[in-house]
Amino acid sequence: MLNEVVVRLSIFDADNDNITKLLELKPTRIVKKGDLVSRRGTIVYKHNIWSYEIKFKNIVHIEDVCIKFIKLLTHKKSHLISLGKIYDIEFSVSVYTKEGMPSIHLSKEVIDFVKLINAEIDIDML
């Protein structure tokens, strides 16, 4: 199965440097409020965004990569719970399909983690 799945955790409107220090994770992407959305455009981001993501190739079950991602964040859970009380957090899964569609199932473990950190879930099929 030819596809790529990106699992991402994004925190909005926080101080990006403070999030990096608190979570001790190198973000995959940082956006600052006022940055241009594209180099040629005039639209700017309205929020700071701190994102950490992992890409997986040739995935059959989305559930498997969500569990792997969550296990990487388990030791950061108490910090994420605190951040979720203050900031908007998004747990997102983006599926880029070239051939075949992976199964989409989110177990109680994934849903409980997302609920615990007070995050929203976003799933994109591209």
pLDDT digits (tens, 9 = 90+) for 99-113: 878 888 999 999 999
Nearest Cα neighbor of 52 from 69, 65, 67, 66 is 69
Q: Each residue of 61-83: pLDDT tens digit?
A: 999 999 999 999 999 999 999 99
Asked if 93 and 62 count as a contact pair (C-beta separation under 8 A), the reply is: yes
98 vs 115: CA distance, rounded Å = 31
- What share of the chain has pLDDT > 90, as a percent? 84
Q: pLDDT band at 1, cuts 50/70/90?
A: low
Report how many domains make up the chain. 1
* Secondary structure of 14-49 as H, E, C letters: CCHHHHHHHHCCCCCEEECCCCECCCCCCCECCCCE
pTM confidence score:
0.93
Q: pLDDT band at 98, cuts 50/70/90?
A: confident
Parallel, antiparallel, or unpaired: how do β-strands 88-99 and 49-57 relate? Answer: unpaired
Mean pLDDT over all residues of the chain? Answer: 94
Q: Domain containing 31: what range?
A: 2-125
56 vs 48: CA distance, rounded Å = 26
